[in-house]
Amino acid sequence: MEIKKITPKQLDEKRKRNDKLFVLDVRAQEKFMNDHIEDSYNIPKTSIFNFEESEDRIKEVLSKSEEIIVTCTTGNSAMKCAKILAEHDYNVQVLEGGLTAWKEYLKRENI
């Protein structure tokens, strides 16, 4: 199953256009609390890896009709989580390079 990637610039453009999307951060809660993309929501990867056990919580937060951008620090865990979510019919993309690339993009663009 091929998961699409989205660049930090594409995500920024979607956010500026107010496109309906949901940014899902799959890092540990402590890391999320320390730093995250504005208006993103945290479900730690351990919950997604144990999808069946966490399904009720995930369903409360995520909508299958929404575009979900999955992110982590570098994109590796996000890709694993995106594949699991896609198997359950969620519309997912992965932020290429994760939060690290996002912060670099913001710095480069002086945002």
For 45-84, how does the pLDDT look when each residue is reduced to its tens digit (9 = 90+)? 999 999 999 999 999 999 999 999 999 999 999 999 999 9
How far is the C-alpha of 70 from the C-alpha of 96, rounded, in Å?
A: 9
Give the mean pLDDT of 39-46.
96
* Separation in Å, CA 44 to CA 32, 34, 83, 109, 110: 9, 14, 15, 29, 29
Would you say residue 111 has pLDDT above 90? no
- Whole-number percent of the chain with pLDDT over 90: 92
- Name all domains of the chain by residue range, CATH numbers in brackets: 4-109 (3.40.250.10)
pTM of the predicted model as reported, rounded to 2 decimal places: 0.94
